[in-house]
Amino acid sequence: MEALSLQESSEQNEHSRVITLLIQRCIDEAGFHLQDLDAVAVSQGPGSYTSLRVGFSTAKGICFALEKPLIIVSTLAALANAAHEKAQDSSALYCPMIDARRMEVYTGLYTAKGDIMLPPQPMVIGQTAFSSYFSAGQRIVFCGNGVEKCKMVLDNPLAALSDIKNCNSLQIIPHAMTAFLNKNFADTAYTSPLYLKAPNITSARQKPS
């Protein structure tokens, strides 16, 4: 299994403007055409409401146009797997955290094999958030961009902080390949992103007259 091209953008709020351009660059660099694809994989979330909608709309559009199957991969599971690949600790649990503003994160808890110990959910991280696991002597590896703001309350000898911060397309490949080989395809028409909570919608400020 080999990644033939990776194109990324670190610019904020650029999803809808650059995503198709990056896809085209990947296709060109790999030396293929869109019609050559066997399937399209997309990160399911949770995460930014806008980026998830843009990603899903683009992936579905390609699948519908080319009649290709759609594969969805949990962002949290991909992060947990990436952290495990780096830590190589099969006895630890892996806790991905995606920033959800203030002291809240989107999180879950996974074994090294990827089994779900705590299902994906929004959580306000406090001093006792994982105390039951620590009291039982369980080591937890925390990863994701939500870890930095929570590290003060994760001060425990059994807590390890990974430098895996963000999920990228390379990290979803193992899950996508497994789904593809098992023909575990999503319903292109009805599958939606995993938002976990409603979007934060605000009114535009009125300009002074």
If one compares 110 and 1, the residue with the highest pLDDT of the two is 110
Tokens coding 164: 């895996």
What 3-state DSSP class applies to 10?
coil
Give yes or no: residues 84 and 150 share one domain: yes
Confidence of residue 200 (pLDDT cuts 50, 70, 90): low
Closest CA to 153 of 203, 104, 192: 104
Give yes or no: residues 60 and 31 share one domain: yes
Could you give the number of structural domains in the chain?
A: 2
Query: What's the pLDDT at 203?
Result: 53
Query: What's the pLDDT at 9?
Result: 82
Average pLDDT of 72-89? 96
Query: What's the pLDDT at 80?
Result: 97
In a domain, 200, yes or no: no
Give yes or no: residues 53 and 119 share one domain: no
- The 10s digit of each residue's pLDDT in 124-181 is 998 899 999 999 999 999 999 999 989 888 989 999 999 999 988 999 999 999 999 9
Angle, alpha carbons 120-121-126 (nearest 5°): 120
**Residue 21 structural domain:** 15-74+167-181
DSSP-assigned letter for residue 150:
H
Query: What's the pLDDT at 127?
Result: 86
Tell me the pairing of strands 116-124 and 104-110.
antiparallel
How far lies 89's CA from each of 5, 22, 195, in Å?
Answer: 29, 35, 30
Average pLDDT of 173-190? 96
Residue 205 scores a pLDDT above 90: no
Residue 201 scores a pLDDT above 70: no
Give yes or no: residues 24 and 93 share one domain: no
Query: What's the pLDDT at 10?
Result: 75
In a domain, 60, yes or no: yes
Contact assessment for residue 123 and residue 149, using Cβ atoms and an 8 Å cutoff:
no
Residue 209 scores a pLDDT above 70: no
If one compares 2 and 147, the residue with the highest pLDDT of the two is 147
Q: What's the whole-number average pLDDT of the chain? A: 91
Separation between Cα atoms, residue 108 and residue 129, nearest integer Å: 12
Which CATH number fits the domain that encloses residue 99?
3.30.420.40
What 3-state DSSP class applies to 117?
strand
Q: State the burial class of residue 80 (Cβ atoms within 10 Å of its Cβ: 0-12, 13-18, 19+).
A: buried
Query: What's the pLDDT at 199?
Result: 63
Separation between Cα atoms, residue 105 and residue 121, nearest integer Å: 8
- The 10s digit of each residue's pLDDT in 9-30 is 877 767 778 899 999 999 999 9
Separation between Cα atoms, residue 86 and residue 89, nearest integer Å: 9
Query: What's the pLDDT at 207?
Result: 55
Residue 74 scores a pLDDT above 90: yes
Q: In the chain, what percentage of residues exceed pLDDT 70?
A: 94
For 115, residues 6+ apart whose C-beta sits below 8 A from its C-beta are none
Angle between helices 75-87 and 169-181 (to 10 degrees): 110
Residue 121 scores a pLDDT above 60: yes
In a domain, 196, yes or no: no
Residue 115 scores a pLDDT above 60: yes
Backbone angles phi, psi at 17, to 5 degrees: -80, -35
Separation between Cα atoms, residue 150 and residue 97, nearest integer Å: 9
